[in-house]
Structure 1
Amino acid sequence: MTTTASLLVELGTEELPPRALDDLAAAFAGALVEGLAKRGVAADAAGARTYCSPRRLAAWIPAVATTQPDQVVERRGPALAAGLDATGQPTRALVGFAQSCGVEVAALEKLETDKGAWFVHRAEKKGQPTAALVQAVLEDALKALPIPKPMRWGGHDYSFVRPAHWLVVLHGSEVVDAAVLGLRSGRQSRGHRFHHPQPVHVADADAWLDALRAAKVLADPAERRARVRAEVARAGRDTGGEPRLSDALLEEIANLTEWPVAIGCAFERAFLEVPAEALVTTMEANQKFVPVFDGEARLTEHFIGVANIESKDPAEIRKGYERVIRPRFADAKFFFDEDRKQPLAAYQGALEAVTYQQQLGSVWSKVVRVAELARVIANRTGVDAGLATRAAALSKCDLMTRMVGEFPELQGVMGRYYATAGGENAAVAAALDEVYAPRFAGDAIAAGQVGRVLAIAERLDTLAGIFTVGLKPSGNKDPFALRRAALGLARTLIEGELELDLKAQLAEALALLPETAFAVKDATPGSDAGIRRDVLAAELYDFILDRLRGYYADQGIPGEAFEAVRVLAPASLLDFDRRLRAVVAFASLPEAEALAAANKRIGNILKQAGFTTQAGYAARADDPPAQSALRQALDSAGQDYQSLLASRDYVGVLRTLATLRDVVDRFFADVMVMAEDADVRHNRLALLSNLRVMFLRVADISLLQRG
């Protein structure tokens, strides 16, 4: 007798939202697997597969037991003290509990726990057939789906992400009786809306995927994506170009089609006068078309549409795709031509009328603040301050153009084009685009020095302003993308190798804010403006460092190494990075563990002794040999140490200090630090204090000691 069989659940719907489809399908399958496990039904959870298409959510789970195992049900009753009276007779509470369990008091057992003893009733519950449990599993799975805005249809009380039309639930070859969303389960699925409109008979759970494939439906999303790639590549070869199919566009096309077929198309070459970014945005974002480039990465007049049908007359579909894209391109060309009729700087006046944030003033006010920050940062980093200031003055102008009004994602890109067309300096034009870099996780920082300065200034003003008015991130809410801004700022400083006092720059950014920003009730601590700025500067510095924790973790740098540098709070993030790299290199040395432990021990000794200041130490005639050896080693190391420290060769500093391991170990083995003689004790504490300070000039390596 078969004790296991595959379980298939398919819920058919009207077209599901493509961007949510993968998450919905994964949640549906995961909840079904979890529901079976919760009820003790054995199944091959690792072998479960998630399936979906625009018109269905499905899960296939192999080796699902046909019966739930028998279960021992334990029900806890009164505590012993409450169940028996002073004479040892059952109380009314215990008798009532026994009656509710359907047994005599004598049949109850006692459970001993660390919190006391209790009366319990244990009974064996016969396992139910899996088929009888599927209804509840399915209901729970549907409730668990991440559906922010469920919809109703007809006159029904129930709701779902889209109207549901069929339900298939098979355990092996048997139909499992279930009813949800007004549907009764069966074995009739549905194929492609046009290629196979008639019902699809499914013999058993393992035959479902092939049955749908025969009905022109690729229910496996991975198989569908592979077909989209292959179809786009085929159509691309016909055009003679190279299609650019991004992962995001691939996912969306795959979730819009059940039987994808690519069709090569073309538009008038005159539209190539429009910036390629605008045309590509229109194709990818608005029409879900794949742009085609030539061998030199230049956009061509070819593009690829992916249909959800294998048409007998592809030429008609091609005409439709070409017809629908033409007016979009015509609009883009019109916007581009109109925007260039005046120089980019001419849009500055319009920025006065646009509010950036109520307490922070207009967008133009923000531009003025950013320009001043850019001037200061440029001067401090050896970048042309005139170019940086000019770039800042133009940085928001493209927001007022027709093109960016239609395609907001092109801000910066269009600024670069319009600045170039207007004869602006090439570095200034590039900076108008680079100010937004990095735009997303993994994106590169600005390539040019002017762009880096502008990117830093822009983010400094944003962080300072939004924190000051009390709109800093909370939980998952970050409407101003401040976490991304902070990481982008930090990455630009570190990867751009810009030596800058971040603490001072934060203070200057706060000082440039209007007084109205500090007038927001309960937004900033303290009553004195200077105190509030100091508090905010410290808070912002910590906020930026918090973003770096994940940045370095992604590079495989341990958290204790990060904390060893963070405790020193270096003003320059580039300096922070150098110190951290040095700590990581030091941690790989064989001496590192012992020296980290010694530093931790020294810190504890100095703390317990109340020795908080660095003091001079001297050679004494009665010094033990181990103490003399440590003193001489410190004096000797100090000669190289100072020059290495001055040149910020932190790796060299720590390698020099690593040579002290043996004399430090010998000192702790042979010398009693807390000697009874006060002068002797003070001299030894001073020696240790100097050793610790030498390490602390780079990082607190005692934090490398785990536990």
Structure 2
Amino acid sequence: MADFLPLLIELGTEELPPKALPELAQAFHDGILKGLAARRIQVQETAGDLPARPLYSPRRLASYLPAVAVQQPIQHVEVMGPYVNIALDEKKQPTQALLGFAQKNGIDWEKLDRVTDAKGMRFVARSTKPGAATRELLAEIVAEAVAALPIPKPMRWGDRDVAFVRPAHWLVILFGREVAPGEVLGLKSDRMSRGHRFHHDKGVWLNHAGEYVEALRGAFVLVDPRERIDTIRSEIAGAARQAGGQARVRDELLAEVNCLVEWPKAILCGFEEEFLRLPQEALISTMEGNQKFFPVLDNDGRLTSRFIGIANLESRDPDEIRKGYERVIRPRFADARFFFDEDLKQGLAAMAEGLASVTYHGKLGTLADKSARVAVLAQQIAGQVGVDAGQARTAAELGKADLQSRLVGEFPELQGIAGRHYAAAGGQPAEIAAAIDEAWMPRFAADAIAPSKLGQVLAVAERIDTLAGGFAAGLKPTGNKDPFALRRAALGLARTIIEGGLELDLVALLVAAGRALPEGLNLDVRELREFITDRLRGYYADRGVPASHFEAVAAVNPSSLLDFDRRLKAIAEFARMRESTALAAANKRIRNILRKVEGKVPAAVDPNRLDEDAEKRLHGELETVLADTAPLLARRDYVGTLKRLASLQLAVDGFFRDVMVMADDPGVRDNRLALLQQIADRFAAVAAVEQLSA
């Protein structure tokens, strides 16, 4: 018998939830590996042509391992017995406790070993036994893996007592060529899988675990999700070429469709071109979100009247499937057309008037109140970044009007997008129409910020008011609860300012936003500023910025987030200098000294009180460096400032080597402290570089 054999475990079910399927499959596979590892059964995950991996389709969870040891290794058993003071009497003879322990373990008490732990010496029974055959343990391992699956609401079926995410109908546990005996979820293990529900509605005999993927392929099931998704991509690409365009393929939709089909075949479909006058986002939302279809775009990225559906079978009459796909999409398109036309009749300005009747929050007034606050903020921000303040105010006043539209009522994901179309149709300038849409960007984690400056102004104003209102009204997030999505708003605000290159005094804007809130609401600006900084911590960590660099800048808490970003980049440059380690350590030492000083440190250094050559040298070099870095700081050249400060390293090292800072003479001591204070202050004008010192 071979030392290793391939192992296949397959649990067949009714159609599994597509969005949860990959997670379930991975958890099932991991559970099998965990069970084998717990029993010390060796696994080689890369042996053979197909490596170890979860395999799945809508009707099955499977785990394939190319090489699993046929037997556990020799088991070394160690059973702890009674302590010596209990096991032996005063004559060193065994007590009944020791004799009972020895008899239970089948060992003469004199042959027992002794070990010492924290409580003293005790007897221990050691033995070895051959490992169990893997085949006999597999059903138990599968049962454990199934029980550990993340299933929030298991269901029962028929008259069975067991529960699972969906009714389970067959179980394969095949080890090499042999079926491993056992029962899981009321199903006895077998070698019979099942093929495609329509193309091969019968059992599939599995002769060997290593033949699983090929055998299922012959039964019209692509059980390997990687092969299946590659097939879907290929099918979509072929259909798009036939249509003379290119398909819009979102990874999220592709992954979901991959969990809906076992034998994917693309069906090229179409709809009436008259629908193309609607906002293409509404049509795309319907195709992707409701029907799981893939829209076809032209070479300029515009929607065409063609789309692609993925059927779960190879039909003898694909035209019938095509007609079905086209039939289900038309009513949704017709609804969108009706809503769009009715909204155009009303107009965006009339929609904006309706916001006065919609409550935003009990403490924060109506949506009209919020729009008015955002408009004032947008005007203020526009003046600071060189954007037309009148356009900013108009765009902000109309920015939420489409929430009153019928189209957004049916397609909430079109907020802002619908407003852009209605603003353009109502004769608003293209810049204002675009900004109404862009104000919602970034809409999700990987989304880009607003591309235009006007859009960025609206995005910043909107999020500042949302954050200020949320914190003042007591809506700040707690734990994993964030009903007003304030964490997302803070990150979107920070990203827009930093990535948009907007030079803004964030604290001043927060103060202005707090003053504009309804009477009786008070905003703790410092608390909100810290909340935004916390979002920055994660933002920069995702970009590989060391935590020490971030904390060095956060310690000086610049009011401008763009300035925060500049300082971080300067710290990164400084950290690459050979002098940085010594200077960071020196700054840490300086800070520790100054922290212990009682009383006020003099603001200026008295050259006449400098006695030692080392302090004279440091003072002379520092005077030059202070003069050189003043204009650099004025133009926010933090890299240049730190490079110039780095030249002080040798003088600082010499000072600490040769000079006693805390001299007996108070005047000398204070003078030396003033010298150190000037060094600390100039570094602090950029960042707390002592944070870089471990």
TM-score after normalising by structure 2: 0.95
d(CA) in 2 for partners of 1:123, 1:471:
63
Spell out the pairing of 1:109-124 with structure 2 (5 A cutoff).
Answer: 109-113=113-117, 116-124=120-128
| Deviation, structure 1 residue 538 | 2.0
User: Any stretches of 5+ residues in structure 1 without a counterpart?
Assistant: 519-528
Distance 1:584 1:117, change over 3 A: farther
Deviation sequence 1:50-69 (CA, Å, 0-9, x none): 11111111110122111112
| Deviation, structure 1 residue 427 | 2.3
Contact 1:189 1:200 in 2 (8 A): yes
User: Does residue 512 in structure 1 map to residue 516 in structure 2?
Assistant: yes
Alignment partner, residue 183 of structure 2: 179
Spell out the pairing of 1:393-404 with structure 2 (5 A cutoff).
Answer: 393-404=397-408
Spell out the pairing of 1:194-593 with structure 2 (5 A cutoff).
Answer: 194-514=198-518, 533-534=523-524, 537-593=525-581
Distance 1:632 1:279, change over 3 A: same
Alignment partner, residue 605 of structure 1: 593
| Deviation, structure 1 residue 364 | 2.9
Alignment partner, residue 524 of structure 1: none
Alignment partner, residue 147 of structure 1: 151
| Deviation, structure 1 residue 575 | 1.0
d(CA) in 2 for partners of 1:52, 1:670:
72
Deviation sequence 1:177-227 (CA, Å, 0-9, x none): 121122111011111111111211111110010000111111111111111
State the AA in 2 paired with 1:4: F
State the AA in 2 paired with 1:28: F
Q: Secondary structure at the match of 1:222?
A: helix
| Deviation, structure 1 residue 116 | 5.0
User: Does residue 671 in structure 1 map to residue 656 in structure 2?
Assistant: no
Distance 1:86 1:405, change over 3 A: farther
d(CA) in 2 for partners of 1:114, 1:647:
66
Q: Out of 644, 659, 665, which is 2:632 matched to? A: 644
d(CA) in 2 for partners of 1:79, 1:657:
68
User: Does residue 680 in structure 1 map to residue 684 in structure 2?
Assistant: no
Contact 2:609 2:668 in 1 (8 A): no
| Deviation, structure 1 residue 117 | 4.5
User: Any stretches of 5+ residues in structure 2 without a counterpart?
Assistant: none
d(CA) in 2 for partners of 1:490, 1:422:
32
| Deviation, structure 1 residue 103 | 5.2
Alignment partner, residue 584 of structure 2: 596
Contact 2:460 2:493 in 1 (8 A): yes
Deviation sequence 1:161-181 (CA, Å, 0-9, x none): 111111111011110112112
Contact 2:602 2:670 in 1 (8 A): no
Q: Secondary structure at the match of 1:170?
A: strand
Distance 1:500 1:80, change over 3 A: farther
Q: Secondary structure at the match of 2:266?
A: strand
| Deviation, structure 1 residue 424 | 1.8
Q: Secondary structure at the match of 1:132?
A: helix
d(CA) in 1 for partners of 2:83, 2:551:
50
Deviation sequence 1:311-368 (CA, Å, 0-9, x none): 1121221111122212221111111111100111212343334333343343333323
Contact 2:352 2:402 in 1 (8 A): no
Alignment partner, residue 19 of structure 2: 19
d(CA) in 2 for partners of 1:477, 1:405:
26
State the AA in 2 paired with 1:619: P
d(CA) in 1 for partners of 2:468, 2:97:
65
Q: Secondary structure at the match of 1:616?
A: coil
State the AA in 2 paired with 1:500: L
d(CA) in 1 for partners of 2:102, 2:346:
90
Distance 1:79 1:427, change over 3 A: farther
State the AA in 1 paired with 2:661: V
Alignment partner, residue 29 of structure 1: 29
| Deviation, structure 1 residue 49 | 1.0
Q: Secondary structure at the match of 1:347?
A: helix
d(CA) in 2 for partners of 1:515, 1:198:
72
d(CA) in 1 for partners of 2:86, 2:510:
65
| Deviation, structure 1 residue 291 | 0.8
TM-score after normalising by structure 1: 0.93
| Deviation, structure 1 residue 512 | 3.1
Deviation sequence 1:295-323 (CA, Å, 0-9, x none): 12111111111111111121221111122
| Deviation, structure 1 residue 100 | 5.6
Deviation sequence 1:227-274 (CA, Å, 0-9, x none): 111111111111111111111121122111111111211111111111
| Deviation, structure 1 residue 441 | 2.0
Contact 2:601 2:670 in 1 (8 A): no
d(CA) in 1 for partners of 2:513, 2:85:
68
User: Does residue 136 in structure 1 map to residue 140 in structure 2?
Assistant: yes
The percentage of counterpart residues that share the same residue type is 56
Alignment partner, residue 689 of structure 2: 701
Alignment partner, residue 42 of structure 2: 42
Q: Secondary structure at the match of 2:20?
A: helix
| Deviation, structure 1 residue 96 | 6.2
State the AA in 1 paired with 2:320: E
Distance 1:95 1:351, change over 3 A: farther
Q: Secondary structure at the match of 1:341?
A: helix
State the AA in 2 paired with 1:377: I
Q: Secondary structure at the match of 2:503?
A: coil
Q: Secondary structure at the match of 1:11?
A: strand
State the AA in 2 paired with 1:320: G
Alignment partner, residue 612 of structure 2: 624
- Bigger mean CA offset, 79-88 vs 178-187: 79-88
Alignment partner, residue 522 of structure 1: none
d(CA) in 1 for partners of 2:435, 2:474:
30
| Deviation, structure 1 residue 375 | 2.9
| Deviation, structure 1 residue 115 | 6.4
| Deviation, structure 1 residue 602 | 1.5
Deviation sequence 1:369-415 (CA, Å, 0-9, x none): 32333233333434333222222222221112111111111111001
Contact 1:611 1:685 in 2 (8 A): no
Deviation sequence 1:124-150 (CA, Å, 0-9, x none): 344211122212211111122122222
d(CA) in 1 for partners of 2:376, 2:87:
79
Deviation sequence 1:537-566 (CA, Å, 0-9, x none): 222212211111222122222111111000
State the AA in 2 paired with 1:497: G
Q: Secondary structure at the match of 2:608?
A: coil
Distance 1:193 1:357, change over 3 A: same
User: Does residue 170 in structure 1 map to residue 174 in structure 2?
Assistant: yes
